[in-house]
Amino acid sequence: MKQEQIKTKVYAVVNDIPEGYVLTYGIVAALAGAPGNARLIARMMTHSNGEINNHRIVNSAGRIAPGWDSQRTLLESEGVVFKENGNVDMKRHLWQPLF
């Protein structure tokens, strides 16, 4: 699959994430038909230029993107709860899309 096709699918997946929920880079990759490409998804999120709700993507431990402090603020404004260690409470906020 070409990178532009993957990008289109990734953006569709990310834009489907409801407020108050998150997905991981790896899950986004799998849902977009590019399993095993979490790093590619991370790069796409970095270069999305506000086209999508990329603040709803975290790593598998629930950590937000380094150096992007407003990501936490955006997530908290949607009701996302963070644990004491600074990670998203994935048990409460990991979106479980219907397959």
The full set of domains in the chain, from first to last, is 3-93 (1.10.10.10)
pLDDT-derived band at 2, boundaries 50, 70, 90: confident
The answer to whether residue 3 scores a pLDDT higher than 80 is no
pTM of the model: 0.92
Alpha-carbon span 74 to 78, nearest angstrom: 7
- Considering the chain, what percentage of its residues have pLDDT values greater than 90? 83
**pLDDT value for 99:** 57
* Alpha helices (H) in the chain, listed in sequence order: 3-16, 25-31, 38-46, 69-77, 90-93
Residue-wise pLDDT for 65-93, tens only, equals 999 989 999 999 999 999 999 999 999 99
Alpha-carbon span 28 to 41, nearest angstrom: 7
Name residue 1's amino acid.
M
